[in-house]
């Protein structure tokens, strides 16, 4: 599917590429061989855009904020292109040690984190703003009202949730509906052949409530890319090897099944779960 086969995201009019460019590895700030250099990150971004892609995903915590800064610097160097892309970023992670309000889903934290992301991205607005993780210590009404205020102010266009239980997402969406607040249009969740538990409640809930599902780690940090087998699984640990750990027997069974499908001339990375 070409990147310029744009689709609407959830129950909205926002048109995005069918494949979003994740930028969690933009920047080498975390050390240990993790992440791409600034020049390499810019090359990846430029190539994605050249192929017709228009959907970028980042977060305030990705490489300690450097990912957002790389994206912002890129569009400062390419005037006029920022308006042609959809930039999604997330809030929740605390980048300020010792500040209890430096992260989370409370109003004070949300407003501050939004301003910081806008500064790093060097833009006037965020197209899609996600709650990165559910903040169980903050009333969901407070989070949703703060997000609605950001939408009303023009600093955010659309909102979404990431890695939040189905019952809490449903509660938030219902509250927004009855109070006339900006609705959630997107749900970002881990989803791959090695992580299918979301098919039980999260995926059908998203369909019912008008949220577009955006899978993260669809190749399980490279485990499903085809480079790992029973024979080399321990040896071939890439730069994200720490995310994998040791494969279980069930995971090896899945890898074997993917390899068998790939024998029909399909790239292993294209073998994806199918939801009826």
Give the Å distances, CA to CA, from 130 to 40, 93, 137, 143.
Answer: 26, 12, 17, 11
Q: How confident is the model at residue 236 (pLDDT cuts 50, 70, 90)?
A: low
Domain end (from 199, 218, 237): 218
Q: Tell me the per-residue pLDDT of 152-211, one tens digit each, with 9 for 90 and over.
A: 999 999 999 999 999 999 999 999 999 999 999 999 999 999 999 999 999 999 999 999
Whether residue 244 contacts residue 203, with contact meaning beta carbons closer than 8 Å, is answered with no
Is 105 in a helix, a strand, or coil? Answer: coil
Is 34 in a helix, a strand, or coil? Answer: coil
Is the domain of 236 the same as that of 213? Answer: no
Domain end (from 185, 200, 218): 218
To which H or E segment does residue 114 belong? helix 107-121
Q: Tell me the per-residue pLDDT of 12-65, one tens digit each, with 9 for 90 and over.
A: 999 999 999 999 999 999 888 889 999 999 999 999 999 999 999 999 999 999
The reported pTM is: 0.93
Q: How many domains does the chain have?
A: 2
2 domain residue, yes or no: no
Whether residue 164 contacts residue 152, with contact meaning beta carbons closer than 8 Å, is answered with no
Is the domain of 214 the same as that of 225? Answer: no
Is the domain of 208 the same as that of 226? Answer: no
Domain ranges, residue 274: 220-276
39 domain residue, yes or no: yes
Is the domain of 269 the same as that of 233? Answer: yes
Q: How confident is the model at residue 101 (pLDDT cuts 50, 70, 90)?
A: very high
Task: Return d(Cα 124, Cα 274) in angstroms, integer.
Answer: 39
Whether residue 253 contacts residue 240, with contact meaning beta carbons closer than 8 Å, is answered with no
Half-sphere exposure of 230 (CA within 13 A, CB side): 9
Is the domain of 108 the same as that of 234? Answer: no
Is the domain of 242 the same as that of 187? Answer: no
Is the domain of 53 the same as that of 159? Answer: yes
User: Mean of the per-residue pLDDT values for the chain?
Assistant: 94
Q: How many CB atoms lie within 10 A of CB 13?
A: 8
Report whether pLDDT(242) > 90: no
* Residues that are catalytic: 62
Token digits for 219? 């190749």
């Amino acid at each position: 599917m070409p990147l310029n086969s744009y689709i609407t995201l959830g129950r909205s009019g926002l048109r995005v590429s069918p494949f979003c460019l994740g930028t969690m590895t933009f920047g080498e700030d975390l050390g240990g061989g993790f992440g791409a250099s600034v020049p390499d990150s810019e090359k990846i971004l430029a190539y994605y855009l050249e192929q017709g892609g228009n959907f970028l995903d980042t977060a305030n915590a990705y490489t300690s904020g450097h990912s957002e800064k790389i994206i912002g610097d890129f569009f400062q160097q390419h005037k006029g292109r920022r308006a042609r892309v959809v930039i999604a970023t997330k809030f929740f992670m605390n980048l300020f040690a010792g500040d209890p309000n430096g992260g989370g889903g409370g109003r004070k934290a949300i407003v501050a984190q939004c301003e910081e992301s806008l500064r790093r991205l060097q833009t006037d607005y965020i197209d899609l703003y996600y709650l990165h993780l559910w903040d169980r210590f903050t009333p969901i009404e407070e989070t949703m009202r703060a997000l609605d205020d950001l939408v009303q102010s023009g600093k955010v266009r659309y909102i979404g949730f990431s890695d939040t239980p189905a019952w809490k997402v449903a509660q938030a969406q219902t509250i927004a509906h009855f109070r006339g607040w900006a609705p959630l249009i997107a749900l970002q969740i881990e989803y791959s052949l090695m992580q299918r538990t979301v098919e039980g409640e999260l995926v059908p809930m998203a369909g019912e409530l008008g949220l577009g599902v955006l899978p993260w780690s669809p190749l399980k940090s490279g485990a499903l890319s085809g480079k790992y087998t029973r024979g080399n699984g321990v040896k071939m640990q890439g730069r994200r090897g720490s995310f994998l750990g040791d494969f279980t027997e069930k995971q090896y069974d899945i890898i074997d099944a993917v390899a068998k499908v790939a024998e029909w001339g399909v790239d292993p990375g294209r073998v994806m779960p199918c939801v009826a």
